[in-house]
Amino acid sequence: MSIQIKEVSKRFGSFDALKDINLDIKTGELVALLGPSGSGKTSLLRIIAGLEEADHGVVLFGEEDMTHIRTTERKVGFVFQHYALFKHMTVFDNVAYGLKVRSKKERPTKKEIAAKVNELLGLVKLEAFATRYPSQLSGGQRQRVALARALAVEPKVLLLDEPFGALDAKVRKELRRWLRRLHDDFHITSIFVTHDQEEALDVADRIVVMNEGKIEQIGSPEEVYDYPKSPFVYDFLGNVNIFHGRLQNGKLLNVQVDLDAVDLERAENKLAIGYVRPHDVTIERESTDAEAVKAKIIHIHVVGRTVQVELKRQDNDQFLEAELTKERYRELNVKAGEDVYIKPNQLRVFIPEDFSI
């Protein structure tokens, strides 16, 4: 089931939660709505579900206009952050609930309901927990029950609002993998809201980055991370180093050094800001060219296969970050307190008058 969002806007009092949102989601796609608190992602999800009504615009499921259709008639499965399970019901009855409350005409037989529930409990690896109550389950198990309950009604669309936000990091990672496999098996058009960049990059087919009620960028995880279209996207999707300067002859003049600007098609002699990821910063013991920046190593943090290096520029006391492989770190054999030279690679330049920074 494809979904089209056309010119959707929503206000709460004087606050613009959504501003002319346009979004096309393909059948069977797993899409993440990613952004900080207040960016509008949950409001958009609730409008798709029919839990909120847009002030303006339309929502289409396939070719059918769902804008004013009640939630119960949209055939969506909704999974909340805090599970929303019925505490007085067993796991089996929680999963069966959506089937049991259907109209008599549409309700399956008790045998059919039991078969469906047992199938789903097998899918989420909870067959042995059918007679337990939510209070007897871990957070991860409760979230899997919530997902099974949403799937029981065979929804056209699966919507998840911060589905793993209340869980610890290890359980979140396990459930992310599980959700990806589940989606690949069922091929249900799915949309999930998250403020966790790693979660979106790990799970989604496409990411919709939102900020202040607008869409900043839509693309695959690789596209939004490696080719951000605005400073907000660059900054929100991971650590970044910032270089202020002025554009001249395709370079960003930055205090005492000239830095190459990648993909630069801007007017000359404008103030600009260059962005570069820590893993795109090269560290050398000696200066190799005029574009190297002298810096002092402040702290070294070894994490798994990577080494994070915190530095401070010596010309303006700006703090910078670099990320090295362990092999490169051992080659350099550097220590905190030593002076080195850094060179940004793949510098992406933005002009303040073109982008909100």
34 and 85 co-located in one domain: yes
SS3 state of residue 348: strand
Which pLDDT value is given to residue 144?
86
Q: Which of 204, 235, 266 is the last residue of a domain?
A: 235
Q: What DSSP letter does each residue of 100-134 carry, written as one string?
A: HTS-TTTPPPHHHHHHHHHHHHHHTT-GGGTT--G
Q: Which two tokens mark 63? A: 């070719």
Residue 153 in contact with residue 98, Cβ under 8 Å?
A: yes
Distance, CA of 352 to CA of 52 (rounded, Å)? 36
Structural domain total, the chain: 2
Q: Which of 235, 267, 293 is the last residue of a domain?
A: 235
SS3 state of residue 308: strand
Distance, CA of 301 to CA of 296 (rounded, Å)? 15
Q: Which residues pair with 323 in a beta bridge?
A: 308
Phi, psi of 18 (to 5 degrees): -140, 140
280 and 328 co-located in one domain: yes
Per residue of the chain (357 residues), what is the pLDDT tens digit?
Answer: 899 999 999 999 999 999 999 999 999 999 999 999 999 999 999 999 999 999 999 999 999 999 999 888 888 988 887 767 899 999 999 999 988 888 888 889 999 999 999 988 988 888 999 999 999 998 888 888 988 888 888 888 999 998 777 667 777 787 788 788 878 877 889 999 998 898 899 999 999 999 999 999 999 999 999 889 888 999 999 889 988 888 877 777 765 566 766 655 555 667 888 899 999 999 999 887 777 889 999 999 998 889 999 999 987 888 999 999 999 999 999 999 999 999 888 888 887 765 554
Residue 164 in contact with residue 133, Cβ under 8 Å?
A: no
Q: Is residue 357 part of a domain?
A: no
Residue 294: give the domain boundaries: 239-350
Whichever domain contains 174, its CATH number is 3.40.50.300
Whichever domain contains 328, its CATH number is 2.40.50.100
Q: Is residue 82 part of a domain?
A: yes
Q: Which of 200, 235, 270 is the last residue of a domain?
A: 235
Which pLDDT value is given to residue 348?
85
Distance, CA of 77 to CA of 156 (rounded, Å)? 8
Distance, CA of 93 to CA of 219 (rounded, Å)? 39
Global confidence as pTM? 0.83
H/E element holding 352?
Answer: none
Residue pLDDT, tens place only, 208-217: 999 999 999 9
Give me the sign of the Cα torsion angle 39, 43, 48, 49: positive
Q: Which two tokens mark 195? A: 């403020």
152 and 277 co-located in one domain: no
Q: Which residues pair with 297 in a beta bridge?
A: 311
Tokens 């199938």 -> residue: 119
36 and 151 co-located in one domain: yes
Which pLDDT value is given to residue 25?
97
210 and 280 co-located in one domain: no
